[in-house]
Amino acid sequence: MVQSFNPQGILLSFRAFLSPSLATPHLHLPSIAHISFPALKRAGIRAIAFDKDNTLTAPYADEIWSEFEGGWEECKRVFGRENVCVVSNSLGTPDDPNFTAEKRIVHPGLGVEVLQHTLKKPAGSDALLAHFSPHPPHTIAFVGDRRLTDVYYGNLGGLTTILTDAFSFERDNPVAKRGEGWGGCGKVLEGGAARERGSMKLYWPLLKGQQNITAKGWWQLSGYV
C-alpha cells in the first residue's frame, strides 16, 4: 500500500515557513528506544500516539523494528494499550483497504489500535484528541520522524511532540522525504525555537541513562543549546 496525494499536507506545510515553531518538536531523540516511558508518564503524559513508518516499523512493514522491541513493550506496559495508538498516513485513512470509520481496528503486528481518520497529517489532529478524550492536549504525546507531518500535526493540536530519526529508506515515501528537505526547509525548521506548551515543563530527564541530568544538560543533549 502507498500513500496518495495529500493536498491538506501541502497547503499546511507552507505555514511552516512563516511559523517554523510549528515544525519544531518539544524533544528530539534518536529513536523510541531512547525514550524513558516511565519518566514521560511521571512528567504528566497520560496517552501517547505514534507515526508508524520509520518510527515504529520500516516503511510499509507490519512488525516493530527489532531494535525497538524492548522500548515498544515498555511503552504499552507503562501507559496501557488503551492509551497508545498509531496515527499513520498509510493506515487508517481512505487509502487503506481496511479503512472504516465505524469500528476500532487493532494492528496485528503492533498490538495497539490504529486511529481511523479521514484527513491526513498534518491535518486532522481533532480525531486524535477525540480518541483520547478527556485527556487535555498537552498530556498527549505524539512521536514521529517527520517535521512537516508528525511534529506539525502534534503542534497544531497542542500536543507534546517528540521527533525521532528515520532509520530505513527502503520503500520510503519519496514525495514526503523530498518535502522535508525541499528548498532548505530542513535547515529553516531546525532554527525554530523550543518552547513550553500549557503548564508542561520541558526539562524532562527522558533520555534513557540520563535520568539525573540537569535542565541545561538536557537541552544540550537535545541539540537546542
Q: If you average pLDDT over each of 9-13, 72-76, 193-197, 214-218, which comes out highest?
A: 72-76
User: Pseudo-torsion of CA 95, 101, 102, 105, nearest 10°?
Assistant: 60
pLDDT band at 211; cut points 50, 70, 90: very low
Mean predicted lDDT score pLDDT of the chain: 77
Q: What is the pLDDT of residue 117?
A: 85
| Cα–Cα distance measured from residue 84 to residue 164, given in angstroms and rounded to the nearest whole number | 17
83-97, 107-121, 147-161: least confidently modelled range = 83-97
Q: CB-based contacts of 154: which residues, under 8 Å, 6+ apart?
A: 25, 125, 141, 142, 144, 160, 161
What's the pLDDT score for residue 13? Answer: 66
Q: pLDDT tens across 141-184, in order? A: 999 999 999 999 999 999 999 999 999 987 555 555 544 544 33
Q: Kindly give the pairing relationship between strand 105-106 and strand 84-86.
A: unpaired
Quick one: pLDDT at residue 91? Answer: 85
Chain position carrying cell 541545561: 216
In the predicted model, what is the mean pLDDT of residues 196-200?
Answer: 34
Question: In the predicted model, is pLDDT for residue 213 greater than 50?
Answer: no
Q: Please say if the pLDDT value at position 118 is more than 90.
A: no
The answer, yes or no, to whether residue 116 has pLDDT greater than 70, is yes
Confidence of residue 58 (pLDDT cuts 50, 70, 90): very high
Between 195 and 154, where is the model more confident? Answer: 154
Of 140, 152, 165, nearest to 33 by C-alpha is: 165
Of 7-16, 83-92, 190-199, the one with minimum mean pLDDT is 190-199
pLDDT in tens, 24-45: 999 999 999 999 999 999 999 9
Could you give all domains of the chain from N- to C-terminal order, each with its CATH number? 28-222 (3.40.50.1000)
Quote the Cα angle for 32-58-60, to 5°.
125
Cβ(85)–Cβ(116) below 8 Å: no
Residue 4 has pLDDT above 70, yes or no: no
